[in-house]
Structure 1
């Protein structure tokens, strides 16, 4: 769980062996999940001949499920643990500055975020809507470009299809009550297994 704030308006999350302050980000919850042996077996079956430590443990990776509450999954350098978080990102301008600060501080090897599309059959549902999520995705992409961080994006279907709630429970990697963070976790696991899959 989250430690006590260091100062008014500032909360900190422990990532790996370090305390990472995230000023102004409102974080409703943070939980640590270990990459279990059950997941490693699946990864090795998919990625035969590849080095688990080199391709999974070594790089720092950030995955995001954007929305007014953004699901976050962070894997630190040389770590077999994931941090699941949910950031309040209703204010796009403020959230952009906070994300850029995070990227410049911790320099992930790669960022994967969930993309969003308005399909024709749902267009009527979006009429006169402000569409917060695509605006926030544009801000995320701008922050990634400014920080010069490699990124990719993926629609939700494949990660959700591969890493269902039942699969996460089977891996002992399911955190109840963190719907957005779990979606970011699915993107993390899918990226680890299929890093070369092209963007949707």
Structure 2
């Protein structure tokens, strides 16, 4: 999952992507969080594990986050709690890990580029990186 105003999701089964989605997780008009959208997705998919793109506030983004409630961090916390309540393991990965290994060229070569959603494509990168680097027995 790539948490943000639009949360990108990619579902893998037996090591292959089977579904790509983008969830509207922050209401653009009210700026309220759409927690139910995330919970419904988790309950529908019933994942064995979830890979979450982590987020850090770096020095070059301090001004951008001044007086912000930093929605991405709140979403990450909420997702972690939802997974905890369902006993679903998760792994946090930084964007650079996945994007550095799973390039645009590789996604195109593997037929995972034309999924139509930038955030879902980034979620796919994280899944692929996790599968290759961690070699889980089941995902």
Q: Structure 1, residues 81-126: CA drift from partner, whole Å, max 9, x if none?
A: 4211111100597633343344344431111100000012321221
Question: Where in structure 1 do 4 or more consecutive aligned residues deviate above 6 Å?
Answer: none
- TM-score, normalised relative to structure 2: 0.83
Count of aligned positions: 133
Matched residue, 1:71:
8
Matched residue, 1:159:
98
**Where does 1:34-45 land on structure 2 (aligned, <5 Å)?**
none
Greater C-alpha Rg: 1
Matched residue, 1:136:
75
C-alpha distance in structure 2 between counterparts of 1:173 and 1:192, whole Å? 15
Is this contact kept in 2: 1:100–1:144, CA < 8 A?
Answer: no
Q: More helix by proportion, 1 or 2?
A: 2
Q: Structure 1, residues 35-66: CA drift from partner, whole Å, max 9, x if none?
A: xxxxxxxxxxxxxxxxxxxxxxxxxxxxx011
Q: Secondary structure at the match of 1:65?
A: coil
C-alpha distance in structure 2 between counterparts of 1:86 and 1:158, whole Å? 21
1:167 CA displacement: 1.0
Q: Secondary structure at the match of 1:137?
A: helix
Determine whether 1:126 maps to 2:65.
yes
C-alpha distance in structure 1 between counterparts of 2:32 and 2:49, whole Å? 23
Q: Secondary structure at the match of 1:152?
A: strand
Matched residue, 2:52:
113
Pick 1 or 2: higher relative contact order, CA cutoff 8 A, min separation 6.
Answer: 2
Q: Secondary structure at the match of 1:72?
A: strand
Question: C-alpha root-mean-square deviation of aligned residues, in Å?
Answer: 2.3
1:85 to 8, 13, 21: 21
Q: More strand by proportion, 1 or 2?
A: 1
Determine whether 1:168 maps to 2:107.
yes
- TM-score, normalised relative to structure 1: 0.59
Is this contact kept in 2: 1:113–1:153, CA < 8 A?
Answer: yes
Is this contact kept in 1: 2:10–2:17, CA < 8 A?
Answer: no
Q: Secondary structure at the match of 2:134?
A: coil
